Amino acid sequence: MLNFKAKFCKRKKQIMEILKSSKSWFKIYRPVNPHFSLVRGKV
C-alpha cells in the first residue's frame, strides 16, 4: 500500500509538471474529470 502511494505521488508530480507547462490543457481536462480535482484537493 505504501509503495502504491509513493508511485501515486511520483505520478502526481509528473502531472503537475505537465500542468505547469500546459495550463490550457488543464482547463480542458478539469471539467471533463471532476474526480481529478477532488483528489488534488485531498492530497
Model confidence, pTM:
0.36
Distance CA 4, CA 11 (A): 10
- pLDDT tens digit string along 7-43? 888 888 887 787 777 666 556 555 555 665 555 555 4
6 confidence band (pLDDT: 50, 70, 90): confident
* Residue (of 41, 19, 38) closest to 28 by Cα position: 19
Residue 29: φ, ψ to 5°: -75, -40
Provide the pLDDT for residue 43.
46
Q: Could you tell me the three cell numbers for 38?
A: 477532488
| DSSP class of 1 | -
- For the cut 50, the answer to whether the pLDDT of residue 3 exceeds it is yes
Provide the pLDDT for residue 12.
84
